[in-house]
Structure 1
Amino acid sequence: MSTPVEEIKERLNIVDIVGEYVTLKKAGANHKGLCPFHGEKTPSFTVSEPKQFFHCFGCGKGGDIFTFLQEVESVEFAEALRMLAQKAGVELKKTDPRDNNERTRLLDCLDLATSFFSTALKESKEGERARTYLEERAVSSETTTLFQIGYSGDSWDALMQFLKKRGFTNTELEHAGLVVPSPKAGGYYDRFRGRLMFPIHNTHGNVIGFGARILESGKHEAKYLNSPQTQVYNKSAVLYGLDMAKHYIKKMDATMIVEGYMDVVTAHQAKFRNVVASSGTALTEEQIRLLKRFSNNVILAFDADAAGLSAAWRGMQLAIQQGMNIKVMNLPQGSDPDELIRQDAQHFRKLAVEAKPFMEYAFDTVLAPLDLMNVQHKKKAASELLPMISLFPDKIEQTHYLQRLATLLHVDEQILRDTINRGRKKTTKLRPKTVVQEPITQPVAPKNPKNEALSERLMALLSLEIQNFPVLLQRLHVDSLEVPHLREVYKYLESQYNQSGSIERNQLVFSNEKLLLTWQTLELIGEELYSQLSLQERQQELLALLDRLERDRIKRRLQDLSTALSSAEASHDNGAIERLSTEFRILTDELKKLG
């Protein structure tokens, strides 16, 4: 009988799982995309469908679907197993609730809270005002159910009592962001009361927090109240509605960003399904990484006044620096997407189609009230637009907008460039100097990147030409492989060869998962680097790599001998001097033979 891990691997395709985070393109037998683990402009991230394996040639990360999910979601194996089991429809063995890790307990707690709020909205007398609010905004019952919208009553402890009866402690409820410690010793009360509740989901559809809107006007409370930072909820790393929008974003190759929860709800109901909300905050690095998983194109649907431009600018600085393509919809002043869509969905669609590139929108908005014959107005235009232009990483785009601004202001383009450069120098000068503290611990021996690269290339080539393993046995000193996991694979192959007297690629059976993953990574690298070479070219490359590794090994040993000789001479140890000198001469001769 197969294990849950094996069953999940049988049911899920790594290309589909990775494809939820990375835009992949077919490249021969593999798929390629931009690595989600490090910033890069040229794709070096490879996914092998036949091997159900991924590897990044830029940062070196690789593994199977479990490794990928652990890395990309920053979760432990148990959580990755739970998430993939849910996708695959594999039922995991139930464990004692007391044995569940804290993250799983929090997710279960938040899921129950969502059901509690949903029931209160649909069935409670208090929920009438929330139902009326939604009806006035033409939100259907189907949409309410889809977004799991709910209501928190006025009670100070209804939710707390509900969850405690189901086995959750006050501490767990506090960690989930659902209750707040009372000034009275040991007491707690519900965080959300008298509010319309919008569950916030992660990209996998798990409820991780709430956004809550107050319904009674005149109350001296914030209009919106969000869950606090918790183990599962980080406001700067989530976008409202992305769990439902992500597939449409990939299909349409664009994300529309709005400001509020109701904007998203109304948009999706009107079949604008690539819409997410930033919840009124400027986009963070984490949110931009989220967006780039699905598309590099963004359409902003913010208010069209000066404040709207300011909000768009704050949100887009990092996105522009990351090379994203930004467009801005020209919404009527004082309007929001929720209102516009309810009034005329077709007009909203037209505005989306007519969205302007960010800098075009910025030029129009900044220059509209200015008289460009007035020198002070020229300075104002330059001071507002140059910081935006300077952020574009693409020099062609940057030059295009500089030339346009220079023409409009009737000034030399070089003057604008000099202004940008002065701003950069000023920013650099204002940065505080980094104080480097001397380490008080013993320094760690530095890695040898040259040896690491050569060793990886050799073992990757061997994975394609395993019949040449006897050549390595004759010519390779195992000390040449400084990378532990590569040395481990070599020693395992050596033991297999010694047992049977031969070694075949299709007969290799690895003793543990770690060795297997390393070997699969080497096969992927080998196919990437050497699949186009002829058999003769591969053999020549193998011998060249062996020579380079041997030269590298001898040079490192000569350095060690030189240090040891100096020490022996200082202590007048004639026996050691003679022994070390002999080895030094022999290795020097060997190095000369290698060329």
Structure 2
Amino acid sequence: VKGDQLYGLSITKDHIRKSGIAVVVEGEFDLISSYQAGVTNVVAIKGSALTEAQIRLIKRFAERLVLALDKDVAGDAASRRGIELADQAGLEIRVVDIPSGKDPDEAARETTTRLPLLTSAIARFGTSEAFAKKKVSDEVLPQLSKIVNPIVQAHYVKLLATKLEINEEKVSEALKNIKPQLGFTKKTLAVAPTPRTHTELIEEMILALVIQAADPPAALNLVSEQIDPSDLTDGVIRRIFMSLIDYLSAHEKLDVNELARGLSPELMPTLDRVYLIDLAQAGAGKYWEQEIRRTTSLLKQDSLRRKISGLATEVTAAEKRSDEASLKELNTQLNTATTALKRLS
């Protein structure tokens, strides 16, 4: 099974055992180039996420794990889970930031960090705005809460505070509010949040793709080519979307903090949630545009299906009333909607 294998381990296991360190890269070509550059204690996971089986294999030969992954890959949800599994297995974890032209071994010696997600989170979100700092802290603090040793934990609290340019006491206060994740028991009485529908999730994703875009006005124009607020089913998302349209019609750039100040308090939890959606896998540039076109197409298809369903019901009612005038108009609308749906499907 692909997820159980480590590419190159049969060749590099002796080097890994001797050094006690396994340098993990993403793919076969990364491994080959690293090995040729002299990094012989290297394996490839053929993807972005470590599995339990791969971690067990690594632990047979090494106690220290160095992840030499792309920033986006190191920060995606699947990789975070792999890092947690490795930590639970007792492996010492380092993540390296590889500048252009440097091999993993050189980068590992110069830029390792015990807090795996900090470099990735800052690279993806930045630290210039309050919302960006919130996104970084929301991603990193749960990892800090799992560090048992108080001295080690205090060290990384100070590091995070320095990186975010905020008071260390504020980081400590936020850390205290992180609730430990406990296993499920029959005594758990917490009510699960209301699950959102597939359409609502798509709507949130579209809003996130606009708000988090490098060029929000351009992203909004792409969205508007396909849909308008009437296609949105979630009333809160619709109100935020309309406020965003109004804001960008009056401003050349998006200041999320300023946008937030103009929203009603009941809209803020949704804006926070949308702004914190991890879009690392959306890519950038043309890939971001492709993701916008893909998600807006899906939403438009959902909107057209709802419209077709409603029109079909009205057609049936008009037939029972023998209302020929209404029937003709409804059938015209039905054909138009059906044709549009076929074009998108």
- Quickly name the TM-score band, shorter chain normalised: 0.3 to 0.5
The structure that is strand-richer by fraction is 1
Report which of the two has the higher share of helix: 2
* TM-score for both structures, normalised by structure 2: 0.45
Higher relative contact order (CA 8 A, sep 6+): 2
Q: Give the greater-gyration-radius structure (CA).
A: 1
Using structure 1 for the length normalisation, give the TM-score. Answer: 0.28
